[in-house]
């Protein structure tokens, strides 16, 4: 399967996608809708693409002017594809491949303008604690005005949101949905879940 960059400096370039079912490439039609939502330019932003897979989102962000994109992916097969895609774009300095698990990477990142997470769908039903950890660590890595987007599948809700994250909007794309979350200030001594994310039908 091949993907393409749809806007910016690398528009029209083809990207590879990992074979098999372990990763879910971000289809071009969803990516187009997502960047219509985000805004067409990400000039100067610092971005993390978590569970990056093919790097379709992160490469698109770099094409649209992001200053730095952390491509966070611990899967060996996907890492090979990511390296190939980075090479195909000429190894831009703005793309940084990180091959450690997100649990090790996100605690070391701060003041990110934008985080996109595309976790494996089974996490929603089989490993909700991992998904909850992802949300909590992503919250800690965001800038005060940062934005967090996460892709899921219809019929599988987000776990309870960690305190300090607020669900702003959700949009549906066929079987998938994407939610936009934003950070809210934490008062002294506050911790733990703030509530259950609204059901996504």
User: Any bridge partners for residue 170, and if so which?
Assistant: 179
24: three-class secondary structure by DSSP:
coil
Q: How far is CA 124 from CA 29, 121, 132, 170, in A?
A: 23, 6, 9, 16
How many structural domains comprise the chain?
1
Tokens 């997100």, residue located = 102
In a domain? residue 194: no
In a domain, 132, yes or no: yes
Rounded to whole angstroms, the Cα distance separating 8 from 58 reads 13
> Do the domain assignments include residue 192?
no
Position 149 scores a pLDDT of: 97
Which residues form the domain of 43? 2-185
pLDDT (0 to 100) of residue 199 = 47
Separation of alpha carbons 32 and 73, rounded Å: 22
| Per-residue pLDDT, 12 | 95
Extract the tokens encoding 54. 């093919």
pLDDT computed for residue 187 by the predictor: 67
Q: Determine, yes or no, domain membership for 177.
A: yes
Residues 162-176, mean pLDDT to the nearest whole number:
94
Is residue 196 predicted with pLDDT exceeding 60?
Answer: no
> Is residue 56's pLDDT more than 90?
yes
If pLDDT is split at 50, 70 and 90, which confidence band does 1 have? Answer: low
Helix, strand, coil percentages (3-state) for the chain, rounded to 5, are 30, 30, 40
Q: Which of 2, 141, 27, 10 is nearest to 66 (CA)?
A: 10
Within-domain flag for 28? yes
Q: Is residue 200 part of a domain?
A: no
Q: Does residue 173 sit within a domain? A: yes
Q: Looking at per-residue confidence, does 19 or 47 come out higher?
A: 47
Beta-ladder partners of 69 = 47, 95
Q: How many residues does the chain have?
A: 201
CATH of the domain at 70: 3.40.50.150
Secondary structure in 3-state letters for 68-107: EEEEECCCHHHHHHHHHHHHHCCCCCCEEEECCCHHHHHH
Burial (Cβ within 10 Å: 0-12, 13-18, ≥19) of residue 180: middle
Q: State the Cα angle at 62 between 60 and 67, rounded to 5°.
A: 150
CA dist 112 and 34 (Å) reads 18
Q: Is 196 part of any domain?
A: no
Residue 193 pLDDT: 42
**pLDDT tier, 28 (very low <50, low <70, confident <90, very high otherwise):** confident
Q: Taking the complete model, does pTM exceed 0.95, yes or no?
A: no
185 pLDDT more than 90? no
How confident is the model over 87-129, as pLDDT tens digits?
999 999 999 999 999 999 999 999 999 999 999 988 998 999 9
């Amino acid at each position: 399967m091949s993907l393409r960059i749809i806007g910016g400096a690398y528009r029209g370039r083809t990207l590879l996608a990992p074979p098999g079912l372990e990763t879910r490439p971000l289809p071009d039609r969803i990516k187009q809708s997502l960047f219509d939502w985000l805004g067409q330019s990400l000039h100067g932003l610092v971005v993390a693409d978590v569970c990056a897979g093919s790097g379709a989102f992160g490469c698109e962000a770099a094409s649209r002017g992001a200053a730095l994109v952390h491509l966070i992916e611990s899967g060996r097969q996907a890492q090979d594809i990511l390296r190939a895609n980075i090479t195909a774009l000429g190894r831009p300095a703005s793309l940084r491949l990180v091959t450690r698990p997100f649990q090790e990477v996100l605690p070391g990142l701060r003041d990110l303008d934008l985080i996109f997470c595309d976790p494996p769908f089974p996490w929603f039903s089989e490993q909700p604690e991992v998904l909850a950890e992802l949300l909590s660590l992503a919250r800690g890595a965001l800038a005060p005005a940062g934005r967090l987007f996460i892709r899921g599948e219809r019929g599988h809700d987000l776990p309870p949101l960690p305190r300090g994250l607020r669900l702003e909007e959700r949009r549906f794309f066929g079987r998938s949905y994407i939610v936009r979350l934003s950070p809210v200030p934490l008062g002294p001594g506050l911790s733990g879940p703030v509530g259950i994310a609204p059901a996504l039908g």
